[in-house]
A and B are shown apart, each in its own frame.
Chain A
Amino acid sequence: MANVKIDNVIKRYGAVQVMHGVNVDIEHGEFVVLVGPSGCGKSTLLRMLAGLEEISDGTISIGDKVVNDVSPKDRDIAMVFQSYALYPHKTVGENMGFPLKMAKRPKAEIDEKVGRAAKILDLAHLLDRFPKQLSGGQRQRVAMGRAIVRDPQVFLFDEPLSNLDAKLRVTMRVEIKELHQRLKTTIVYVTHDQIEAMTMADKIVVMRDGRVEQVGAPLHLYDYPSNVFVAGFIGSPSMNFLRGRIVSEGGAKQFASESGLRLPLPDTPAEVGAEVIYGIRPEHIGVGDAGIPVDVVVVEPTGSETQIFAKAGGDVIDAIVKDRISAAPGSQIHFVIDPANVHLFDAQTEQRI
């Protein structure tokens, strides 16, 4: 177990710089998720942590030791690849025991540790099988087993659940989280799925285009996104954004969208006349008897909740409510917004105001 420090890391491929001074501090035993759209550099960063990619500038330390020039085999890390990267010619048991065999551990110890890991992961009856004889979820567990037998300082996960079907993904998500609670080893986990990030992480690092956009606890990012990108990325379905300006209505500040829609504002330092982006999450919009009149476009009932797409002025607003609403498309209903749930961003810099 160890802390990890990524200090001003830069990555260049020839003349092209793809990572621009990334800083992340990972505490001992923390579960950190690197999240972002594809191409944001999260996998590259993980591979630099593993030692599979060179670091062009800056330093990476594991357990207070700079590892820039340490080869992967000497970093005392374990990694689970998206493809699982199982050795096809080795059985499940041989796959899991491979790191220990390379470390020249005695056979009895290897068997004992593999047996214990297999028991944790419910693989004990599969130890003599070959990877091609396993299902996707079982292969995934073998890859995890190979990682945990080593008892490494840090676990690295590179989109480990992407190749699984939706149901299995939820199960494995729980298993990985449970495993972390049991082993208490530092984990760095890469995903493009913000739900995975929200549900598993102690700390989320949101990345875009080789930069860190925001670092924080899942609910902190949800409640206080520092810019439009993070606000849109975290939360599902995505936050509604309306462009417009702040106007004064009878002494009180109000938001006026470009299409003329008037919406309530929280207490804000933004001045009247300022160009802003108004953000409100679908789940923070209610339906009431009075409020903002909107025209229903589509209603999607899912049983537990109802998603409503409605037009207000020229803007389409997406709302999710717990009640079952049977509004016909084209009919008028009223959206209710609590100003406390509104996020305001500067229209130019897209930063939170």
Chain B
Amino acid sequence: MHSNRLGWLLLAPTMIILFFFGVVPFFYVIWVSFHQWNPFAANPNMVFNWASNYRQVVFDAQLLASLGVTFAFVFFAVVSELILGYLLAQAFMKDFPGKAFFRTIHTLPLIMAPIIVGSIWKLMTTPSIGIIPSLVQSWFGLDLNIGQSAAAAFITTVVMDVWHWTPLVTLSLIAALVSLPPDPFEQAQIDGANKRQIFWHITLPMIAPAVVATVFIRLMDALRTVDEVLMLTGGGPGSATRYIGVHIFKEVFPRTNYGYGSAISVVVLYMTIVICWLLYVGLIAPRNTRKG
């Protein structure tokens, strides 16, 4: 009994913080989402308006467009990060001179605040002063202008996200690869598997739990990207990079449309949960429920 009370006592600070910074805002957002609330509107007070914010969500063409580019962004970013992260993790599994040094500097993007990453990339991609348009011009003879070209802006945000978050994937895959026993790999060689077959039949299934966990983390993060993209493109040109997070930001802050912004947030949260659940059902659950 005594040790039980001590346990709750030790947990209390965390629970209190989680309650005020997690649980309360969560329910507050849901509550706000059922109200008409714009402090700068004719009526600045919160007015309960049933589900009309949600009705508006369904008919918001801008939101649907936003969701489309968001899914494209998340897909390209997370897939590239996985592939690149795996290749880097394999490279770091081998010994080469300066390995520790390279491994350290390769993780540096991770410790940068997204707003800084956005600023740096904005500086690097500004036409006529940035290094990237200059290199693209001299190597490929192309004009890179993320302020004008929707495709260029989209690709740049993906590349920026890949630059920022691949090290996370690399680190978690290194951890997974290091902990693998060597024997099944030697056995697979003897069993006649070539490198490609070993990857698909042995390596990938054995690191699958780590891969899925990493995909979950990256998926949830990428779905709510705001600050980097807002800094780099402001969601433009047009609405080419107006990802869902940016869309919500623009509804809530410049337009002070708190009620509607909250409703979108709740919908996006729900979609994120559904996507993760689908991934879980598709990737992890079959492994656990196979006939045994």
Once the chains bind, are A79 and B193 in contact (CB under 8 Å)? Answer: no
B185 to chain A, nearest CB (A): 9
Residues of A within 8 A of B184 (CB): 85-88
Q: State whether the Cβ of A77 lies closer than 8 Å to any Cβ in chain B.
A: yes
Q: Which of B75-83, B107-115, B148-156, B197-205 is the contact stretch?
A: B197-205
Interface contact A85-B186, CB-CB below 8 Å: yes
Is there an interface contact between A81 and B183, defined as CB atoms closer than 8 Å? yes
Q: Is the CB of A73 within 8 A of B186?
A: no
**In the complex, are the beta carbons of A72 and B291 less than 8 A apart?**
no
B191 to chain A, nearest CB (A): 4
Q: Is the CB of A73 within 8 A of B190?
A: yes
Residues from chain A with Cβ under 8 Å of B191 in the complex: 73, 78, 98-99, 102, 146, 150
User: Secondary structure of the B side of the interface?
Assistant: helix
Most buried by B among A52, A84, A146: A52
B187 within 8 A of partner (CB): yes
Check B97 for interface membership: any CB of A closer than 8 A.
no
Q: Which residues of B contact A79 (CB under 8 A)?
A: 186-187, 190
The answer to whether the Cβ of A290 comes within 8 Å of any Cβ in the partner chain is no
Interface size (B, Cβ < 8 Å)? 22
Q: What is the chain B residue whose CB lies nearest that of A128? A: B291
Q: Chain B 168-195 against A: per-residue CB contact (8 Å), 1 yes, 0 no?
A: 0000000000000101101111111110
Judge whether B181 and A50 touch: CB under 8 Å.
no
CB of B206 within 8 A of chain A? yes
**Residue B98 at the chain A interface, CB threshold 8 Å:** no
| Bound-state Cα–Cα, A89 to B186, Å | 16
How far apart are the CA atoms of A90 and B208 in the complex, in Å? Answer: 13
Q: Is the CB of B287 within 8 A of A89?
A: yes
A81-B187, A89-B206 known; A133-B192 Cβ under 8 A: no
Contact A128 B190 (CB under 8 A): no
- B292 in the interface, Cβ–Cβ < 8 Å? yes
When the two chains form their complex, are residues A73 and B194 in contact, meaning their CB atoms are under 8 A apart? yes
Number of A-B contacts (CB under 8 A): 72
Q: Which residues of chain A are near B194, meaning CB under 8 Å? A: 73
Which of chain B's residues have a CB closer than 8 A to the CB of A128? 291-292
Write out the residue numbers on chain A whose beta carbons fall within 8 Å of the beta carbon of B186. Answer: 50, 52, 72, 79, 81, 85
- Expressed in whole angstroms, the Cα–Cα distance for A75 and B191 within the complex equals 10
Task: From B181, B184, B292, name the one whose CB has the most chain A CB atoms within 10 angstroms.
Answer: B184
Q: Which of A77, A83, A91 contacts B190 (CB 8 A)?
A: A77
Cα A87 to Cα B208 in complex, Å, equals: 14
User: Which B residues are in CB contact (< 8 Å) with A89?
Assistant: 205-206, 208, 287
CA distance A88 to B192 in the complex (A): 18
What's the nearest-Cβ distance from chain A to residue B209, in Å? Answer: 10
Cα A146 to Cα B208 with chains together (Å): 24
CB distance from B125 to the nearest CB of A (A): 43
- C-alpha gap A25/B177 in the complex (Å): 39
Expressed in whole angstroms, the Cα–Cα distance for A75 and B192 within the complex equals 9
A130 interface contact, C-beta 8 A: yes
Contact across chains for A83 and B197 when beta carbons are under 8 A apart: no
Chain B residue with Cβ nearest A84: B183
Cα A171 to Cα B202 with chains together (Å): 31
A38: Cβ under 8 A from any B Cβ: no
A83 and B181 within 8 A (CB): yes
Contact A133 B292 (CB under 8 A): yes
What chain A residues lie within 8 Å of B291 (beta carbons)?
A: 128
Given contacts A73-B191, A78-B190, A102-B197, contact A88 B206 (CB under 8 A): yes
Chain B: minimal CB distance from A109 (Å): 15
When distances are taken between beta carbons in the complex, the residues of chain B under 8 Å from A85 are 181, 183-184, 186-187
Q: From B206, which residue of chain A is reached at the shortest CB distance?
A: A89
CA distance A129 to B193 in the complex (A): 23
B287: min CB distance to chain A, Å:
7
A17 at the interface (CB under 8 A from B): no
A71 lies within 8 A of chain B by Cβ: yes
Interface residue? A103 (CB, 8 A): yes
B289 to chain A, nearest CB (A): 12
B212 → chain A, closest Cβ, in Å? Answer: 13
B150: min CB distance to chain A, Å: 43
CB distance from A146 to the nearest CB of B (A): 7
Q: Tell whether, in the assembled complex, residue A73 and residue B189 are in contact, meaning their CB atoms are under 8 Å apart.
A: yes
Please name all residues of chain B whose beta carbon is closer than 8 Å to the beta carbon of A51 when the two chains form the complex: 189-190
Among the listed B189, B193, B287, B290, which residue makes an inter-chain contact with A52, where contact means beta carbons less than 8 Å apart? Answer: B189
What CA separation (Å) do A255 and B292 show in the bound complex? Answer: 67
Q: How far is the CA of A100 from the CA of B202 in the complex (A)?
A: 15
CA gap between A150 and B184 in the complex, in Å: 17
| A88 and chain B: residue at smallest CB distance | B206
A89 to B191, CA, bound (A): 16
Contact B206 A72 (CB under 8 A): no
Using a CB-CB cutoff of 8 Å, which residues 88-116 of chain A contact chain B? Answer: 88-91, 98-99, 102-103
Q: Which residues of B contact A87 (CB under 8 A)?
A: 184, 187-188, 201-202, 205
Measured CA separation A130–B192 after assembly (Å): 22
The residues of B that contact A78 with a CB separation of less than 8 Å are 190-191
Given the complex of chains A and B, what is the CA–CA distance between A87 and B180 in angstroms? Answer: 11
Taken together as a complex, chains A and B put the C-alpha atoms of A79 and B187 apart, in Å, by 7
A-B contact pairs, 22 of them (CB 8 A): A50-B186, A51-B189, A51-B190, A71-B189, A72-B190, A73-B189, A73-B190, A73-B192, A73-B193, A73-B194, A77-B190, A79-B190, A81-B187, A83-B181, A85-B187, A86-B184, A87-B202, A89-B206, A98-B193, A99-B192, A102-B197, A103-B192
Shortest Cβ-Cβ A-B pairs, 9 listed: A85-B183, A85-B187, A99-B191, A89-B205, A102-B192, A72-B189, A73-B192, A102-B193, A72-B190
- Beyond the given pairs A90-B205, A99-B192, 8 more chain A to chain B contacts, judged by CB atoms under 8 angstroms and listed by A's residue number, are A52-B189, A73-B190, A73-B194, A74-B192, A75-B190, A77-B190, A85-B187, A89-B205
